[in-house]
Amino acid sequence: MTTTHSDVLILGGGSGGYACAFRAAQLGLSVTLIEADKIGGTCLHRGCIPTKALLHSAEVADTARTGAAFGVRTTFDGIDIEAVHQYKNDTIDRLHRGLQGLVAQHEISVVSGHGKYLGDRTIEVDGTRYTGTSVVLATGSYARTVPSIELGERIVNSDDALNLGFVPKKAIVLGGGVIGVEFASVWASFGAEVTVVEALPRLVAAEDPWCSKQLERAFRKRGIAARTGVTVAAAKETADGVLVELDGGDTLEAEILLVAVGRGPCTGDSGFAEHGITLDRGFVVTDERLRTPVDGVYAVGDIVAGLQLAHRGFQQGVFVAEEIAGLDPVPVAEHLVPRVTYSHPEVASVGLTEDAARERYGDVTAVVYDLAGNGKSQILKTSGGIKVVRAGHTGPVVGVHMVGDRVGELIGEAQLTVAWEALPTDVAPFVHAHPTQNEALGEAMLALSGKPLHAHG
């Protein structure tokens, strides 16, 4: 049996895996990257990129529909779903070609196939064994399902929904988290009547409750119904759609049901548990430096419990490469990972919610700056606001929460503010270009500094 050795052996070529590969190669280490599908993983091919392409098509549809409000004579004549998919797929293909070029540039050995961990820093693919001085597990995640609900042509998960060949007239989304909210937003913009069913009391329940209220209000204005605090008792396909029965007896009918109940770690068939890798609910258990209990074996990305976000996995991959190279990097702090839901309107946040901050610090101060006072937001005709949370009355900013179109573009400054434990008085003097939505973040800092300018009352 052939055995190939490298300094770093990586199982999984998604955001965490390929970032680790690139950084390790930059640091002069030999790298072998094993991937069963395509480099780029879920994010590029079935997640972040394709969903955001659909969301941009949805934004264009909304712009065409509302042109008269801006003095432009436009009409919305419908969605050419084949052309939408072509645009989406072209975007994916361009980025995939770019990644392939970078793989070649870094002289990374890529092995195509399903890898199985055998212990002893060894992974087998189709009868060939690969060993590494260090091994990095980065096998990613899959779309979770509900055991009692069988997927089919009309009951689909997010992978299926990305390639749906028609625009539904009526759609039900089971799950009010990021994935469910984004698809609900897309389909509503495309002209569908959408109902979101969420078992928890509010949409985007991982966010600050203020964000949930803002989003739910905006969704109501768009005609998107939200049934929160409700579970699904049964769902079945009918001759021309789906029938969903809610606990309590209510029924909903639609052309399509999207099951968007989160993502699970892909660890079940890779040999981890059988060879000393500790799992908890399917997630690989690591310490803060992403080391598993097995010497020389690390884990990154969605298989490590926490926020399942591509940029988190990417940063963890870079961290592990530098850790292996002996650079002693700073661990990735979970609360400093920025979060963006790219719906209409967007939800963006970093740091602690007000409740979490109060639990940690005992006393907090929070202000909300309404986008009604922001010139660029009024030009865009978007509503929402920016909420900033500080520890106590004199402490640093520990959380920033934003709702409104395009607020995801403000997350960089928000992250820097929280990560550097800046005081509101440190940030308030920043000169924010006018007119930009960025000014709203500055106004919130001014308010926390005790000198609100564009604020009523």
Neighbours of 304 (CB within 10 A): 25
Residues 352 and 297 in one domain: no
For range 326-353, the mean pLDDT: 96
Which tokens go with 198?
A: 């969420």
Residues 163 and 205 in one domain: yes
Residues paired with 350 in a beta bridge: 400
CATH code of the domain containing 435: 3.30.390.30
Q: Nearest to residue 110, comparing CAs of 42, 45, 38, 47? A: 38
At 62 the pLDDT is 97
Residues 304 and 326 in one domain: yes
pLDDT tens string 7-18? 999 999 999 999
Helices (H), 206-306: 209-222
Residues 370 and 295 in one domain: no
Residue 456 inside a domain? The answer is no
Residues 23 and 127 in one domain: yes
Mean pLDDT (the chain, rounded): 96
At 457 the pLDDT is 59
Residues 301 and 399 in one domain: no
pLDDT tens string 95-112? 999 999 999 999 999 999
Residues 18 and 135 in one domain: yes
Residue 371 inside a domain? The answer is yes
Catalytic member of 96, 106, 434, 456: 434
Residues 117 and 18 in one domain: yes
Residue 150 inside a domain? The answer is no
Q: How many structural domains comprise the chain? A: 3
What residue numbers bound the domain in which 398 lies?
345-448
Residue 457 inside a domain? The answer is no
Residue 440 inside a domain? The answer is yes
29 Cβ neighbours under 8 A, 6+ residues apart = 6, 7, 8, 321, 324, 325
Residue 453 inside a domain? The answer is no
Considering 307, 334, 361, which residue would you say is the last residue of a domain? 334
End-to-end C-alpha distance for the chain, whole angstroms: 77
d(CA 337, CA 355): 18
CA angle 413, 419, 424 (to 5 degrees): 65
Neighbours of 291 (CB within 10 A): 15
Q: What is the largest CA-CA distance in the chain?
A: 77
Residue 340 inside a domain? The answer is no
At 2 the pLDDT is 66
pLDDT tens string 212-265? 999 999 999 999 999 999 999 999 999 989 999 999 899 999 999 999 999 999
Residues 29 and 91 in one domain: yes
On the question of pLDDT at 293 being above 90, the answer is yes
Residues 280 and 365 in one domain: no
In this prediction, residue 455 has a pLDDT band, given cuts at 50, 70 and 90, of: confident
pLDDT tens string 261-281? 999 999 998 999 999 999 999
260 Cβ neighbours under 8 A, 6+ residues apart = 143, 157, 158, 173, 174, 175, 177, 179, 180, 183
Considering 303, 334, 365, which residue would you say is the last residue of a domain? 334
Considering 281, 305, 334, which residue would you say is the last residue of a domain? 334
CATH code of the domain containing 137: 3.50.50.60
Which tokens go with 440?
A: 């709203």
Contact 232, 245 (CB under 8 A): yes
Residue 204 inside a domain? The answer is yes
> Has 434 been annotated as catalytic?
yes
Residues 353 and 444 in one domain: yes
pLDDT tens string 372-399? 999 999 999 999 999 999 999 999 999 9
Residues 378 and 277 in one domain: no
d(CA 334, CA 175): 23
